[in-house]
Structure 1
């Protein structure tokens, strides 16, 4: 059965033709929409409307995803709730532009941006190691790349168009907050039961990933170690690039 018609877990073979085509197309659209934002950055009226459009688009996409799963009879609390790290980031990719448009509480915007900035590394790995938890039927296949590519796009859009940046020690704060989220999600997984595995707190993902080793609870410890490493790396890399 073709990948785009499959029901059930599916992982795109890394470096396959399918993998290359999907990531090249996704990168192209990220570049195009980011270029538009940077090109018209000084046109406040256009950027304001463009920012609102981006926010509404990604909020609508999130709601559509839930409706579409239900339409196909595939919605299930064990895998359909937006409780993965990338699902939270996808929500933020819609919420943050709307907060920017309405100029709502700068501290809240900055904090939410930092969550998306650090958690966004998950979107990068999602594109590098694509995994469909609940199948690739209908437009769910394309939506995977719109969602994860959108996270990366909005992060870059906030940085290059709206001059957002992670604050000092933000990498450590977000890592600490993430542990609270991780604990809450783990209890939700246990409460739902079945194959619920949001944030992969129950078992590691099905893809081959060098950063995921062992079974519960050791895979969580490894994920935490590499999360802390990546958060700090992102912060200091961003800081060094801004200086140069």
Structure 2
């Protein structure tokens, strides 16, 4: 068994397959879940998982004396998306949904394919925490889409893109003040990622803007193909 996490190793591929299967099973059972008596219980359970995984990560970093303002605060895009997804599930907020549908799914998929978890591989706590967190983000968005019938509007893409850039500016200032590298705005991640193909700093940030917008559009395509009320059932919520 490998001591360190290796990209596309059996441990990595197994995690990706497990997440894909869980999402597929959820999709196949969506109508049964929608009509079932455990619908709200499942919604709350996913929210609790999202909150517990972040809390457990913070506790773990403290326990190994690795907690630092520079890298353990929940300021990464997926970390903040996980927290927002939990709030979305608990409050059924459409305003949050139309943002995290794009940032959550888009960010989580990219993170699952190119994990930044250092040397921690199966069966380490960090391995399970990382993939549970990102899988739960996707599952939360799927729940609100297929069970609660939420749908993003076309203008949700622009709104999300604007909010994402505002957040990036705030995090960029925080990085400057603390010497941190949240959202990888100051340097590329050590692990292989899409950023490796987007040029050197700071040009890869500009390239990421285009990539993010394309991903948002692709995530919206199913709603265009599927038709129906693109604004979602709770658009005015």
Give the TM-score, by structure 2 length: 0.85
Q: Deviations over 1:24-69 (max 9, x none)?
A: 12223334455555423123x4212221222122212221211121
Whether 2:216 is the aligned partner of 1:224: answer no
Distance 1:229 1:126, change over 3 A: same
CA distance in 2, matches of 1:175, 1:134: 33
- Listed as ranges, the matches of 1:7-46 within 5 Å are 12-14=6-8, 16-33=9-26, 38-43=31-36, 45-46=37-38
Q: CA RMSD in A?
A: 2.3
> What is the deviation of 1:227?
0.8
SS in 1 for 2:38: helix
Alignment gaps of 5+ in structure 2: 229-237
- Please state if 1:164 is matched with 2:157: no
The aligned length equals 225
What is the CA distance between 1:134 and its match in structure 2? 8.2
Q: Does the alignment pair 1:148 with 2:134?
A: yes
Deviations 1:163-206 (A, max 9, x none): 0110231101110111100000011111111xx21111101223
Q: Report the CA distance shift for 1:209/1:36 in structure 2 as closer, same or farther (over 3 A).
A: same
Q: CA contact under 8 A between 1:56 and 1:98: conserved in structure 2? A: no
- Structure 1 distance, partners of 2:173, 2:75, is 12
Residues 195-226 of structure 1 show CA distances to partners (whole Å, capped at 9, x for unaligned) of x2111110122333345422221111010111
Distance change (3 Å), C-alpha of 1:150 and 1:190: same
Q: Residue 169 of structure 1: SS of its match in structure 2?
A: helix
Confirm or deny: 8 A CA contact 1:79 1:197 kept in the other structure: yes
Name the SS of the counterpart of 2:68 in structure 1. Answer: coil
Gaps of 5+ in 1: 101-108
Confirm or deny that 1:209 pairs with 2:193.
yes
Gap change, CA 1:130 and 1:64, over 3 Å in 2:
same
For residues 101-180 of structure 1, the aligned pairs below 5 Å read: 109-119=93-103, 120-132=105-117, 135=120, 138-180=124-166
What is the rounded CA distance, in whole Å, between the counterparts of 1:188 and 1:87 in structure 2? 16
- 1:188-207 counterparts in 2 under 5 A? 188-193=174-179, 196-207=180-191
Q: TM-score if structure 1 supplies the norm length?
A: 0.83
Alpha-carbon contact 2:78-2:134 (below 8 Å) kept: yes
1:2 Cα deviation (Å)? 4.1
Query: Judging changes above 3 Å, is the alpha-carbon distance between structure 1 residues 234 and 93 closer, same or farther for their aligned structure 2 residues?
Result: same
Check the 8 A contact 1:79/1:134 in 2, yes or no: no
Name the stretch that deviates more: 66-75 or 128-137. 128-137
1:90, distance to aligned residue in structure 2 (A): 1.1
Measured in 1, the distance between the counterparts of 2:98 and 2:165 equals 15
